[in-house]
Structure formats: structure tokens, C-alpha cells
Amino acid sequence: MRTTFHAELDRLAAELGAMCATAGSIMSSATAAVVYGDMNAADRVWSELSHLSALNQRVQDRTLTVLARQAPVARELRFVVSAIRIAGDADRMGGLAANVAKVAQRNHPAPAIPSDTTAHFAEMGRVAVELANRAHHALADFDADKAREVGPADREMNDLHRRLFTLVSDATWTHGAAAAVDVALLGRFYERFADHAVEIARRIVFEATGETPERTDYEAAMEATL
């Protein structure tokens, strides 16, 4: 009975990892749509998002089954509770990536962003996918050390987001208000995507150690603005 139970928890961890990997793939496709005007990539977003939703439903069903049949306690209960929350974060990551693709589709056939911001968004996309992949690898065995590796990439995303805001608010911006709004929105989508990856990492550390990592001063300040 316990062997079956632990096999169920292993499948749950694998599905959570697959959710993070899928969220990263969605963001990769969405970034290609925004940066390069690739509408085939934008179309892929929706099929990938459907797959993510199916994974999320599978995780929710499995966690309910485990709670009902196994009545887990202590660390096992902590694992199941963390799994529910991680699935929610990964699902939101996919939704934020889909919002990026929507901006590209709404502006098509015109470029979604000014040409002097494409390199910036390409880099934000790269970092976002890296964050999702790091969360994926940490979930393979709920490895706290791997989860802590999410932090440096998140700080890189925060720096990119700050520089983007400076660019849009600068007096030398010549692309108009509509482009500024789109660029600001896109930056926010990427930054929030990263925030959810950080939350996943924090939950992995909690599950593995029983301790919740403290938020950085930057994270606390950003949370206070929400």
C-alpha cells in the first residue's frame, strides 16, 4: 500500500515538472511571436496552453485522490499541499505567456514592439524559459539546492524589467503612447512569470526542509504594490 502511495507521489512530482516545462515552452513560443512576428509560434501557444490545462487538471485530480485515499500526514501532507500550490503557479505562468502571444496577434501584421526593444524582449524570454526549466529540474526530486538556483535568474529578470521601465519612461522615447503601453504590459507579463517561478522554488524549499525562505527586499516591495 505504501509503495503504491509513494509511486503516486512520484507521478505527481513528474506532472508538476512537466507543467513547468510546458509553461517554459509556451513562453518560448510567445516570445518568438512578439520578437520575430512568428504567427505559427503564436498559434502553438494555444495548443500548448491546452496541454498545460490538462496537466493541471490531472494534478488536481491526483492530489484529491491521494488526500481521500491515503490521508497523508507530516512531510507527505506538506508535499501534497505544496503540489496543489505549485500547480496553480505553473498554470498562471502559462496564462501570462499566453498574454504575451495575444499582444503579438493583436498587432499583426505590424510589429508587436519597436525594433529597438526586440533584443531586450528576446533576453527577457530567454531568462523566463531558464527560470521555468530550473523549476522543472528542481521538481524532479524536490531538490532544495536546485530550487535555490532560481534566485539568480530571477534577479536578472528584475534588472531587465527595471531597465525596460526606464526606457519607456525616458524623454527620448519616440514610439508613442500605444507602443509604450504594450511594452510596459509585456514587461509586466515577463516579470510576473518569473515571480511565479520563484514561488515554485520557494515551495520546493519548504517541502524539502520545512522552512519557508524569506522574500528579498525587492520581492517584498513589489508584493506591496499588488
How much is the pLDDT for 194? 97
Tell me the Cα Rg of the chain. Answer: 19
How much is the pLDDT for 224? 42
How much is the pLDDT for 213? 63
Grid cell 522554488 in the structure block, residue: 201
Mean of per-residue pLDDT scores for the chain: 88
Among 90-94, 116-120, 138-142, 178-182, the minimum mean pLDDT is found in 138-142
Q: What is the DSSP letter of 70?
A: H
With a cut of 70, say whether residue 167 has pLDDT above it. Answer: yes
With a cut of 90, say whether residue 6 has pLDDT above it. Answer: no
Question: Mind giving me the DSSP string for 19-56?
Answer: HHHHHHHHHHHHHHHHHH--HHHHHHHHHHHHHHHHHH
Taking only the tens place, the pLDDT of each residue in 34-65 is 999 999 999 999 999 999 999 999 999 988 88
Q: Output phi, psi for 173, to 5 deg.
A: -65, 125
Report whether 99 contacts 48 (CB < 8 A): no
Pairwise pLDDT comparison (26 vs 151), residue with the higher score: 26
Q: Is 96 helix (H, G, I), strand (E, B) or coil?
A: helix
Element (H, E) at 173: none
Helices (H) and strands (E) in the chain, counts: 8, 0
With a cut of 70, say whether residue 192 has pLDDT above it. Answer: yes
Q: Output the nine-digit C-alpha cell for 65.
A: 485522490
With a cut of 90, say whether residue 120 has pLDDT above it. Answer: yes
Among 81-85, 109-113, 136-140, 219-223, the minimum mean pLDDT is found in 219-223
Domain ranges for the chain, please list them.
Answer: 2-224
User: Could you give the C-alpha distances from 186 to 37, 61, 178, 181, in angstroms and in order?
Assistant: 15, 33, 12, 9
Rounded distance between C-alpha atoms, residue 48 and residue 202, angstroms: 25
With a cut of 50, say whether residue 219 has pLDDT above it. Answer: no
Taking only the tens place, the pLDDT of each residue in 68-119 is 776 666 677 778 888 899 999 999 999 999 999 999 999 999 999 999 999 9
CATH class of 2-224: mainly alpha
Number of Cβ within a 10 Å radius of residue 160: 21
Considering only CA atoms, which of 155, 159, 26, 39 is closest in space to residue 99?
A: 26
